[in-house]
Copies of this chain bind each other. A is one copy, B any other.
């Protein structure tokens, strides 16, 4: 019972000092996160009373659990429904912010004479704003319910997704040294595929399982089940070489569709607060104040760049996406800081050993400074907008006004929204089903080394083993292939209807239409076959055998067609039900 004393002492020191400092920071009306970091600096080895931590490895491990719980909570708050609502505006604003900030950060880094990798990581660190800080600042200012706040939350969600993609890309670049467009595309494609499949499969299984457990009214059991899913999925994600942060975020987003979401959020909050406190303290532990003095100049430059860069990039993006000047300014001013994601990226660079050690303290210092400014910036948004409007030269103001009018004239209300939204919906469904088919064949290829070892007991030749694996994948993916075919069919009908007008085609109208609607699915399915063949290269049987398998599959399909349609419909209904079910409010 006595060998954990050193560890208990560490926790005691961390929690006691963090407690005192955060209460102090709260009294000074500063964010609690800053308090944790300051507590970490006090505890850390660079400031008197010197090193207070004994078992630093365990504390760092617990701090990484803090990242898991932070990202998991973020996922719980992330909502596919909310994202669908704010849609395009948030995407444009977030993308313009991220692209400009990465470029700005990279250029600043090169200007200081840093190497390319440091500059790239600096850019990535400046790209993403801090959800925690913004939510806290807006709720303290009582603005959480206003319209522009909803748009900001949408931007933050898009940022989170793009940040995940950025993490994956950065890991790739860091490990290979460079990145080609093809590799980037393949990486992002794989990521999208993985995210789509996880979300679809996860949302089919996890919320149901949680709601089943939740019915027992035992908080303890629900918590253990939630943690089991969370860590289990994180483990899977890590085994697939993605970051644990991505796993935690995705499983959080999946659990966000459970009816018992509110209970889960309440249960997970204290656990997250405990471990995230440790995480932020470990950030402070790594912070050497003398580095801050040595790098005072870069810190100042980067801080100014973050504030002005984000206001301009995100504000301009919002404006270009069709919002008025006041809203744009408010959005830009609100996101003008960096936070927890920057630390995650900085520690990624450190743990991959590709960035210089000074980058981490700079990120912390810039985050601390910009966090300090955030509430003042949000409050200053309206006065600045008014002053800008007054002092703007008339021609410029006119141009802005014309742009707004033009944008309003081409809005979705002016065109035929029904055919457009119908098409978009069908394309989305095809994409999701194709993703599932691709995942099944990729999974079969991935498991081939293990499966063939097992199969070789019965099947001697390599070819026959491939036939068995490939056929199995084909049978499993059949419901989704059938669904793809049926959706392609309706899409083709729709396209034929729209593209071939009786006025032009005259008496050939129906003939051309039926040709188009008949041809498109066949051509497209051939494309699907090529895709599948490319993805399952490792287990593709030789040509002759493959034709035989396809013929057998076709025969099977004639028998199972109705069953395939039915099982797919059931799954689709189940998915839709999960989304449309009301949540328990407590």
Contact = CB atoms under 8 A, between A and B. Distances in A.
B61 A12 contact: no
Interface stretch (A269-277, A310-318, A435-443, A503-511): A269-277
Contacts of A65: 4, 8, 11
Interface of A: 1-5, 7-9, 11-12, 15-20, 22-23, 26, 32, 58, 60-61, 64-65, 67-68, 213, 216, 218-221, 223-225, 227-232, 234-235, 238, 243-245, 267-271, 273-274, 277, 344, 347-348, 351
Contact of A273 (B15, B61, B223): B223
Contact of A219 (B17, B221, B232, B270): B270
17 contacts: A1-B67, A4-B65, A5-B238, A7-B61, A8-B68, A8-B235, A8-B238, A12-B234, A15-B227, A15-B228, A15-B230, A19-B224, A23-B225, A26-B216, A223-B273, A223-B274, A224-B277
Q: Across chains A and B, which 3 residue pairs bring their CB atoms closest together, nearest first?
A: A19-B228, A12-B231, A15-B228
A216 B35 CA distance: 15
If over half of A's interface residues share one DSSP class (helix, strand or loop), that class is named, otherwise mixed; here it is: helix
B64 A224 contact: no
A19 B235 contact: no
Contacts of A229: 16, 19
A15 B220 contact: no
B234 A8 contact: yes
B270 A223 contact: yes
Contacts of A67: 1
A343 to B, nearest CB: 11
A68 B5 CA distance: 12
Contacts of A227: 11, 15, 19, 274
Contacts of A61: 4, 7, 58
Contact of A12 (B19, B232, B271): B232
Identify the interface centre among A219, A267, A273: most chain B CB within 10 Å of its CB. A273
Nearest to A20: B228
Nearest to A55: B61
